Amino acid sequence: MSGPKILLVASEALPFVKTGGLADVVGALPKYLTALGADVRVMIPKHSVVKERYQDELEQVAVSEVHLGWRRKYLGIQTMVLDGIRYYFIDNEDYFSGPVYRGGDAESEQYMYFCRAVLESVKLIDFTPDVIHCNDWQTGMIPMLLRTQYGLTAMNSIRTVFTIHNIKFQGMMGFGLMQDVLEIPDRYYAPRYVEANGCANMMKAGLVFADRITTVSPTYAKEILHPYFGMGMEGMLHARRADLVGIVNGIDVGEFDPRRDPALAVNYDTESMNLKWENKKTLRNRFGLKASIYDPVICMVTRMTPQKGLDLVQNVLEELLHSDLSFVLLGSGDRKYVNFFNYIAGKYPGKAGIYIGYSEELARQIYAGGDFLLMPSQFEPCGLSQMIAQRYGTLPIVRETGGLVDTVVPYNRFTKEGDGFSFGAFNAHDMQHVIRLALEVFRDKPTLNRLKKNAMLKDNSFMGSAKQYLDLYEEIG
Ligand code: ADP
């Protein structure tokens, strides 16, 4: 292979382990980069779910030890090839046998170990990358350690890219802990390095030391230069804005394909949209929905956090439920939202179908069986749900922020074109107004069908973005 050698590093990747959209991206991107000729390998922790499902297929590459200050920690490197991509797993039961994210200082230590282990592993595997592509704060120390502690080794020529998937989570801790685990000298505890708001900050280490910074949509790349979105990183990002670029995520269109998705009751494409109807029936049965089949189903598939705009939904949902529509939600997260949606399920049986939990299969059935997907995010680096929904002919109703701006063409009532609906201000009544517009369009079948077709035929694949990443690697490699 003649393309660049890339080591893609993250805390999670499909199909091995997923808690959010990061796993989808790290799962899909290598496939497209490989198709473009890059030699991409992926390195993630060997979380217990990986052990449970893939233990028999894993091969041991090396066993070693990692020094974390005074600690000596086991380092196992295991590997397997899946769909032509080589994956490496960092094996250490102390750190990765429990939850993927342990919370608090335990989580900081978990991922400081991971950063150190990745760099030590590069010496032990038979692969010297041109670029280590780091993702989110869990990998933030890699660019810093590489520049400040590995400068005199052969690894000095390795370049780094740091991708921000969500700037809200930064990996903060007391500097004492960072210093103790990674032997960082005092002088780096300064605002121009790892200090932010009186804490040591792993994401900041990545932002300061990476050769290039990317984030997952062009709009989010602009937004994070402002304090509202930048979460304290805006100053550093301003300083580095010449090295910051937004590359919109895509989805794995082979994986999310209504023509062959085995989770669906009936498969369909743009030529057989009437079969999408069968999926709507299945969804109705699944949740015991009683509203007429001719009425729309508005869905959500979401982490339940304030980021996802659930406060707006909470404000107007009961009012909306008095209209001729059904509401379906699949989600898990904050207790206050769980309580609210359980209350809704109890008060509106047959109108609202609520499933609290995580289910990949049900998510796909909802994308296929719904008419609209509501995603009124407060901020959204890119968002994948809206793209998956489009692929399944379910029209997204989104707030104009981050990647939602870059991936949804809002319905234009004059040209009757678009592939979704959007509203600007983070305000429940603006959202309700646009939902009403969507409900009007729902009754205009020719327009509705055109919008659905536009959505399904849209190129939401990773190919265009993978080319941009490749150009970036080649530029710095
Ligand atoms: P984020 O990464 O911020 O949670 P994204 O829209 O980028 O949001 O990605 C979310 C991904 O996780 C999508 O693939 C979505 O279908 C999936 N997802 C979210 N919540 C659930 C759930 N409760 N069950 C199954 N899949 C979910």
- Beta carbon of 359 within 6 Å of any ligand 1 atom: yes
Residues 445 and 470 in one domain: no
Q: Answer whether residue 263 is part of any domain.
A: no
Q: What distance in Å separates the CA atoms of residue 300 and residue 310, rounded to the nearest whole number?
A: 10
Within a domain: 94? yes
Beta carbon of 477 within 6 Å of any ligand 1 atom: no
Answer whether 398 contacts ligand 1 (Cβ < 6 A).
no
The Cα–Cα gap between 357 and 49 comes to 17
Which among 302, 328, 401 is the best mutation to test ligand 1's pocket, defined by most ligand atoms within 8 Å of the CB? 302
pTM, 2 dp: 0.94
Question: Residue 161: enclosing H or E segment and its boundaries?
Answer: strand 159-164
Residue 84 lies in a domain: yes
My answer on whether 371 and 230 are in the same domain is no
Indicate if 312 and 444 belong to the same structural domain.
Answer: yes
What CATH number corresponds to the domain at position 14? 3.40.50.2000
For ligand 1, mutation pick of 17, 303, 332, 338 (most atoms within 8 Å of CB): 303
Q: Is residue 409 part of a domain?
A: yes
For the chain, 477 residues long, give each residue's pLDDT as a single digit of tens: 578 999 999 999 999 999 888 999 999 999 999 999 999 999 999 999 999 999 999 999 999 999 999 999 999 999 999 999 999 999 999 999 999 999 999 999 999 999 999 999 999 999 999 999 999 999 999 999 999 999 888 899 999 999 999 999 999 999 999 999 999 999 999 999 999 999 999 999 999 999 999 999 999 999 999 999 999 999 999 999 999 999 999 998 999 999 999 999 999 999 999 999 999 999 999 999 998 889 999 999 999 999 999 999 999 999 999 999 999 999 999 999 999 999 999 999 999 999 999 999 999 999 999 999 999 999 999 999 999 999 999 999 999 999 999 999 999 999 999 999 999 999 999 999 999 999 999 999 999 999 999 999 999 999 999 999 999 999 997
b/e 35-63 (16+ beta carbons within 10 angstroms → b): eeebbbbbbbbbbeebbeebeeebeebee
- Please, are residues 387 and 407 in contact by the beta-carbon 8 Å criterion? yes
Ligand 1 atom closest to 386 (CA): 6
DSSP state of 92: -
Please tell me the distance between residue 72's alpha carbon and the centre of ligand 1 in angstroms: 37
Shared domain for 341 and 472, answered yes or no, is no
Same domain, 173 and 311: no
Residue 262 lies in a domain: no
One domain for residues 160 and 220 = yes
* Dist. CA 303 → ligand 1 center (Å): 6
Same domain flag for 224 and 360:
no
Say yes or no: 44 and 120 in one domain.
yes
Residue ID of nearest Cα to ligand 1 atom 9: 21
367/373 Cα distance (integer angstroms): 8
Identify whether residues 279 and 182 lie together within a single domain: no
Determine the Cα–Cα distance for residues 375 and 304; give it in Å rounded to an integer: 11
Does 469 lie in the same domain as 373?
Answer: no
Pocket lining: 169 vs ligand 1, CB cutoff 6 Å: no
Specify the residue for token string 């805390």.
11
Counting the structural domains of the chain, the total is: 2
Strand-pair partners of 326: 297
Number of helical H runs and strand E runs in the chain: 19, 18
Does 256 map to a domain? no
Range of the domain at 409: 270-457
| Of residues 166, 46, 159, 48, the one with CA closest to residue 113 | 46
Atom of ligand 1 lying closest to residue 20 CA: 2
Evaluate whether residue 402 is within a structural domain: yes
Question: Would you say residue 60 lies in a domain?
Answer: yes
Query: Does 274 lie in the same domain as 208?
Result: no
Q: In terms of domains, do 233 and 278 share one?
A: no
